[in-house]
Chain A
Amino acid sequence: MSDLSAYEQTQDGGFGDYVQLLKPRVMSLVVFTAMVGLIVAPVSVHPFVAFTAILFIALGGGASGALNMWYDADIDRVMRRTRGRPIPAGRVSEGEALGFGLALSAISVVMLGLAANWFAALFLAFTIFFYAVVYTMWLKRSTPQNIVIGGAAGAFPPMIGWAVATGGVSVESVLMFLLVFMWTPPHFWALALFMKDDYSNAGVPMLTVTHGRRVTRRHIFVYTLLLAPCALALALSPIGGPVTLAAALVLNALFIRGAYLILRRDEDRAEADRYKAERAFFKLSLAYLFLHFGALLVEASLRPFGLGGW
């Protein structure tokens, strides 16, 4: 072994590795829902301020992702899907990720406060705390209901967007929260059914591991049924309208049908067609959320022309 091969192992992360720490795919959901929350609010915001606010909400979400990757590095090393992440792959050290996450959290909260208002900034700080501490450090490894409660962290961004415009909380923003909150469990459990991750080796009590796949199928169905009234209530709220109501009726009918198909199947049939229904349901769940928030956006953009809304 030459001296140079020791040098070989000191891995310096490239720029892309730090971007990957921010979980860009989760960030895209945060950007979209926060943007809709901001635009549909009854108070108008200067476009540049709105842009800055959404940017720092996204950065705060990214910072909590980095903190999550710091804390979960031991799990990520065990699971196949996450082994290539920057920390398990050895491109970024755990200490760097922690420092990166903490620094970006502080920057994003302070900048959101300066750009918009301090209520929204505190809300962002709470969201980061909720995801990094309540979900990652506490719930994820202790209860199979982890993603149910942890889903709240992903559901706060539209409320923060709303708070940027209005400086507070209202029924409409709570309904947007509820939509994402109730949507998260069926979305992730469908993924857990066909991804078959080695959660048990990693010591994460996923519902599929602790209570079995039969119970998970039932849970998906029940949550999908509970989600429908939340979506309809949002469509009937002041920020909803005919477009949202039509979208909610169609999407929830499709979603409940998909969940029912999953409920009716057993593992053998699912294995046989390689989890076709589960994969289809997962794809539908992505479209479900995107189109619901998209419909709210359509409603808001029709409003200046006297159309849209109730």
Chain B
Amino acid sequence: MAISPEHELHRRRWSRNLGLGLVLAAFVVLVFGLTIVKVSRQDEHGNPPGTEASR
């Protein structure tokens, strides 16, 4: 069996690492976006919209 510098195993590991990296980056963006939406929609007392206190 020839020893090649780039084994098929490395390709699969690379795909997994890249995929996980992208998923984590997307997760960060998602939580950030969610924070912006939640914070910008609360009233001056910090209550979320639709609650009794915000009316």
On A, residues with C-beta under 8 Å from B are 2, 4-5, 8, 10-16, 18, 46, 48-49, 52, 55, 114-115
B33 touching A48 by the CB < 8 A rule? Answer: yes
In whole Å, how far is A103's beta carbon from the nearest beta carbon of chain B?
12
| Chain B, interface SS category | helix
B54 close to A (CB within 8 Å): no
Total cross-chain contacts (CB, 8 A): 40
Bound Cα distance A2, B38 (Å): 59
Instruction: Point out the residue from B9, B19, B34 that lies within 8 Å of A48, measured CB to CB.
Output: B34
B55 close to A (CB within 8 Å): no
Pairs A–B under 8 Å by Cβ, sample size 15: A2-B1, A4-B1, A8-B1, A12-B12, A12-B16, A13-B16, A15-B16, A15-B18, A15-B19, A18-B16, A46-B37, A48-B34, A52-B34, A55-B30, A114-B34
B15 touching A16 by the CB < 8 A rule? Answer: yes
Encode contact with A along B5-30: 1 for CB under 8 Å, 0 otherwise: 00001011101101110000000001
A49 touching B37 by the CB < 8 A rule? Answer: yes
Q: Which residue of A lies closest to B10 (CB)?
A: A12
The size of the chain B interface, using a CB distance under 8 A, is: 17
In whole Å, how far is B13's beta carbon from the nearest beta carbon of chain A?
5
B1 touching A14 by the CB < 8 A rule? Answer: no
**Of B18, B30, B41, which is in contact with the most chain A CB atoms at under 10 Å from its CB?**
B30
B3 close to A (CB within 8 Å): yes
Bound Cα distance A46, B33 (Å): 12
A52 touching B16 by the CB < 8 A rule? Answer: no
A5-B1, A12-B13 known; A115 vs B34 contact (CB < 8 Å): yes
In whole Å, how far is B12's beta carbon from the nearest beta carbon of chain A?
4
Kindly list chain A residues whose C-beta atoms are within 8 Å of the C-beta of B34.
Answer: 48-49, 52, 114-115
Kindly list chain B residues whose C-beta atoms are within 8 Å of the C-beta of A55.
Answer: 30
